[in-house]
Amino acid sequence: MKLIISFLIILVISVSAQTQNPNYNNVLADSLNADDYGMKSYIFVILKTGTGKIDDKKERSEIFRGHLDNISRLVKEGKIVVAGPFMTNNKSYRGLFIFDVKTIDEVKELLQTNPSIKSGIFETEIFEWYGSAALPEYLKTADKIWKVNP
C-alpha cells in the first residue's frame, strides 16, 4: 500500500510539473513546424578555412561578393535562417549557417551554389541541430536594423 501511495504522489508531482504556456499560439507554432517544446530540427554548418588559394585580388573579391549574394538568395528563399562570421579564433572557423531544410544532402547541394565553397576557400562541417522553431522570425526584425548592405 505504501508503494502505491508513493507511486501516486510521484505521478501527481510529475504531472503538475509540466505546465502549459499561457502565451502559446497554436497557429504560429504550426506555421513554424514547432514541436510541443517550440523546437525543431535544423542543419548547422560551420565554415572553416579551406585549402583553396586564390591569389588574384579581383577574383577573390568576386568570389566573396558571390558568397554574400548567395547567402542573401538563400535567406530570401527561406533556406538559411542564420548566417554570420566568427571572430578570429584558433580553430580556423570562419562562419556559420543554420539551414531550415530537411536533410544534410539538401544542404550539401545548396552549399555547392556558394562560390567560396566551390573554390575551396571555405570547407564545411555539417551537423543536425535542434533549436527554437522561432529562429526564422528574427529575420523580420533583422531586416529592419541594418543601415549598410555588406
Asked whether residue 148 is assigned to any structural domain, the reply reads no
The rounded mean pLDDT for the chain is 90
The domain total for the chain is 1
* pLDDT at residue 8, rounded to an integer: 52
Q: 0.85 cut: is pTM over it? A: no
Mean pLDDT of 95-109: 97
pLDDT at 74 over 70: yes
- Residue 123 binned pLDDT confidence (cut-offs 50, 70, 90): very high
Asked whether residue 120 is assigned to any structural domain, the reply reads yes
Q: Which residue has the cell 497557429?
A: 27
Asked whether residue 28 is assigned to any structural domain, the reply reads no
Report yes or no: 101 and 78 within 8 Å, Cβ to Cβ.
no
Distance, CA of 89 to chain centre: 20
3-class SS letters over the chain: CHHHHHHHHHHHHHHHHCCCCCCCCHHHHHHCCCCCCCEEEEEEEEEEECCCCCCCHHHHHHHHHHHHHHHHHHHHCCCEEEEEECCCCCCCEEEEEEECCCCHHHHHHHHCCCHHHHCCCEEEEEEEEEEECCHHHHHHHHCCCCCCCC
Asked whether residue 73 is assigned to any structural domain, the reply reads yes
Asked whether residue 64 is assigned to any structural domain, the reply reads yes
* pLDDT at residue 13, rounded to an integer: 58
Asked whether residue 32 is assigned to any structural domain, the reply reads no
Asked whether residue 109 is assigned to any structural domain, the reply reads yes
Asked whether residue 113 is assigned to any structural domain, the reply reads yes
- pLDDT tens digits for range 20-65: 888 899 999 999 999 999 999 999 999 999 999 999 999 999 999 9
87: containing domain: 40-142
Q: What is the CATH number of the domain that holds 137?
A: 3.30.70.1060
- pLDDT tens digits for range 125-145: 999 999 999 999 988 888 888
